[in-house]
A and B are shown apart, each in its own frame.
Chain A
Amino acid sequence: MFTRRLWRQQCSQLTRYRWLLLIGLFATVISGLRSWSQSPNLSPLVLYKTLFEIGGFSWGYLPIGLIVGLSVISPRLNDYGATGSRSIWICQLGVQSFLLQGTLWLVWTGIMAARFSELVGWPASWIVVWGCVQVGINQVFFVSVALAVYIATQQKLIAVMGTWLGEMLLADLLARPQSPFLRFQSPSTPEMTWVATGLLIGGMGLLWGLMVMIINRRDL
C-alpha cells in the first residue's frame, strides 16, 4: 500500500518538472544523435569506439544525468510521520533516481542500439546493449557520488559541480586499464568486465550506505 503510494507520488513529482525533464531528454537525444553523423563505411569496431567515446559520456550524457537527477530530487517530500522511519527518505531517493536515470538510459540505449543495428545489423546489437549497460553502471555510480555529496552538504550545485569536475579532470586516470571506471570504450563480454562491474556496484553500495548513515544521524 505504502510502496504504491510512494511510486505514484514520485511519478507525479516528475510531471511537476516536465519542462526540465523534456529539456534533459532533448539534450540526451541530441547527445546520442551526435554519433549518427559518423560515416556508414566505418568498421564495426571503429563504429563502437565512436559511439562510446569518453567525451560523449563526460561532456554530454553524464552532466545531463547529474543535472536532471538532482534538479528533481526533493529529499523530504514524503511525510516522515506516515512511516515513522527515516528509511522512507532513502527509498524516495532510490525511486526518484531509478525513474530519472532509467528514463535517460532507455532513451540513450535506444538511440545507440538503433544506429548500430542500422549499420551493422540486429544480431550484433547486443554488444551495444551490453556497452550501454556498462555506461549505465558508471552513470549510476557518479549519480550516487553526487547524491552522497548532496546529502552531506545539502548543496545541489556543489554536488553536481564537484562530481562533474572530478570526473572530467580525472577522466584520463579513471579510464586506465587498471581502473574499474569508464570501461565501455571497447566491446567486451560480461566475463571480461565482471571485476570492474563488481567493484563499481560495491562502490555504489558503500555510497548508499553512507547516505543511510548520514540521514539516520542528522537531526530531524
Chain B
Amino acid sequence: MGVVWQRLNKRTLILAFSVSLMLAMIQFYPTLRLIGDQSDYFDSAYTKWLGVDTFQSISQVYYLVLPLLAALPVGSVLNQDHVTGFLTQLRMKVPTKVLFRGYFGWSFLLGGLVTALPLLVNLWGHLLVLPSYRPDNLLHSNILVISFNTLSVGMYYAHPLLHAALAIGRTFVWGGLLSLFVTGVGLYTRQRFMGIGLVVLTQLGLILVQPLGVTSHSFAPADFLRETANANVSWPAALGVTAVFSGVTLYLAIRGWQRLVHA
C-alpha cells in the first residue's frame, strides 16, 4: 500500500479533512457558548453532538455532502492514473495484487476516515464541555428521539456512548463504500467526475423519494447514518441498502480491475 500512499496528492487529502473538520466545528461552536450558562433542557453531550442534532442545518449539510467528502481524497485517483497511463507504468514494477490492495484499500480507509473522524472529534468536543448525562425520554423529549426516526432507540437511552459509536462506525463504513464505488466506476469511464455524480444524484433521489410516500422508511444513507433523523428509518431498510450498495461496489471494483488486468 506504500506505493499508492506515496502517489496520493496530500494537498487534496488535507483539504478533505479540513473541510469535514470545519463543518464539524461549525456545528460545535454554539455549544461552546453554552459553557457557564444554565440550560433549560438539561443538555447532555449525547443530545447536542452532530449525529443527533436535527435543529441546526449544518448537521444536515454534513450528511448531504458526505459522498463528496468521502470521494475527495482517493475516489478519482485510480481513474486519473488509468487515463494518464501511470497505472500501466506501475504495473510493470509492482505486482497487480499489491496495486489492487493499495488503490482500493486506501480508497476505503481514507473515505471512511475523512467522514468519521470529524464526527469523533465533534463528539469528543461535546463530551469535554457538556455533562455526559444519560438521555432521558421525558427530560429530552425536545429532541424527539423515538423508534420511528432512530435505529435501536432503546440502546440510545441505555448506552448512549455505544449508540453514538455505532453511528460513527456506520458513517465510517459508508464513507469507505462511497469512496470505493467512485474508484470502481472510474475503471469503466474516462470521465473522472462520473462516479461522484452518480453517487450524489442517487443519494439525492433517495432522500427526495421518501416524502412522496412511495416507501414507509428512508433508503437514504444521509438519514440512517445519523443517530436520529428527520425521516422514518428502520434496520431492515438500512441493512438492505447497505447490502445492495456493497454488492454493486464490490462487483464494480473486482470486475473492473479484472477487465483492466486482462485487457
- For B163-197 the 0/1 string (1 means CB < 8 A from A) is 00000000000000000000000000001111011
* Chain B residues closer than 8 Å to A68, beta-carbon distance: 197, 201
Q: Let me know if A168 is at the binding interface, CB within 8 A.
A: yes
Stretch at the interface among A19-27, A124-132, A191-199, A209-217: A19-27
Evaluate contact between B58 and A71: CB separation under 8 angstroms: no
Q: CB distance B57 to A71 under 8 Å?
A: no
Chain B residues lying within 8 Å of A30, measured Cβ to Cβ, are: 205, 208-209, 212
Which residues does chain B contribute within 8 Å of A164, judged by CB atoms? Answer: 65, 68
Measured in the bound complex, the distance between the Cα atoms of B60 and A171 in whole Å is 13
Q: Tell me which of A93-101, A110-118, A155-163 binds B.
A: A155-163
Q: How far is it, in angstroms, between the C-alpha of A70 and the C-alpha of B200 when the chains are bound? A: 13
Residues of B within 8 A of A169 (CB): 26, 58, 61
Residues of A in contact with B, size category: 20 to 34
Encode contact with A along B95-135: 1 for CB under 8 Å, 0 otherwise: 00000000000000000000000000000000000000000
A34 near B212: Cβ-Cβ < 8 Å: yes
State which of A39-47, A56-64, A182-190 sits at the interface with chain B. A56-64
Question: Is A37 part of the binding interface, using a Cβ–Cβ cutoff of 8 Å?
Answer: yes
A165 at interface, CB cutoff 8 A? yes
Q: List 23 interface pairs A-B (beta carbons < 8 Å), by A numbering.
A: A20-B197, A20-B201, A23-B202, A27-B201, A27-B204, A30-B205, A30-B212, A31-B208, A34-B211, A37-B212, A37-B213, A59-B204, A59-B207, A60-B208, A67-B196, A156-B192, A156-B193, A157-B71, A157-B72, A165-B61, A168-B61, A169-B26, A169-B61
Taking CB atoms, residues of chain A closer than 8 Å to B213 are 37
Chain B residues touching A, majority SS: helix
Chain B, residue nearest A27 (CB): B205
The 8 A CB mask of B61-75 against A (1 = contact, 0 = none) is 100110011011001
**Chain B: minimal CB distance from A173 (Å):** 12
Determine if B205 and A71 form an interchain contact, defined as CB atoms under 8 angstroms apart: no
Interface residue tally of chain B, by bracket?
Answer: 20 to 34
A contact residues around B64 at 8 Å (CB): 59, 63, 168
Q: Chain A residues near B75 (CB, 8 Å)?
A: 157
- Measured CB to CB, the closest approach of chain A to B235, in angstroms, equals 25
A26-B205 CB under 8 A given contacts A37-B211, A71-B194: yes
B-binding residues in A (CB < 8 A) = 17, 20, 23-24, 26-27, 30-31, 33-34, 36-37, 59-60, 63-64, 67-68, 70-71, 156-158, 160-161, 164-165, 168-169, 171
* B232 close to chain A: CB less than 8 A: no
Is B202 a contact of A67 with CB atoms below 8 Å? no
Interface string of B23-59 (1 = CB under 8 A from A): 1001000000000000000000000000000000110
B209 and A157 within 8 A (CB): no
Interface of A is mostly: helix
- Inter-chain contact A157/B76, CB cutoff 8 Å: yes
Which single member of A26, A33, A165 contacts B65 (CB below 8 Å)? A165
Given A27-B208, A60-B204, A161-B68, the answer on whether A171 and B197 have CB atoms closer than 8 Å is no
Report which of A17, A26, A33 forms a contact with B212, defined as CB distance below 8 A. A33
Question: Which residues from chain A contact B193 at a C-beta distance below 8 Å?
Answer: 70-71, 156-157
B contact residues around A26 at 8 Å (CB) = 205
Residues of B within 8 A of A20 (CB): 194, 197-198, 201
Q: Is B19 an interface residue (CB 8 A)?
A: yes
Q: How far is the CB of B223 from chain A (nearest CB, A)?
A: 13
Interface mask (B226-256 → A, CB under 8 Å = 1, otherwise 0): 0000000000000000000000000000000
Min CB distance, B8 to chain A, in Å?
A: 15
Q: Which single residue of chain A is at the shortest CB-CB distance from B209?
A: A30
B198 to chain A: which residues have CB within 8 Å?
A: 20, 23
Complex: how many Å from CA A26 to CA B196? 17
Distance between Cα atoms of A183 and B61 in the complex (Å): 21
What CA separation (Å) do A24 and B75 show in the bound complex?
A: 21
Contacts of A31 in B (CB 8 A): 204, 208
CA distance A181 to B49 in the complex (A): 31
Chain A positions within 8 Å of B58 at CB level: 169
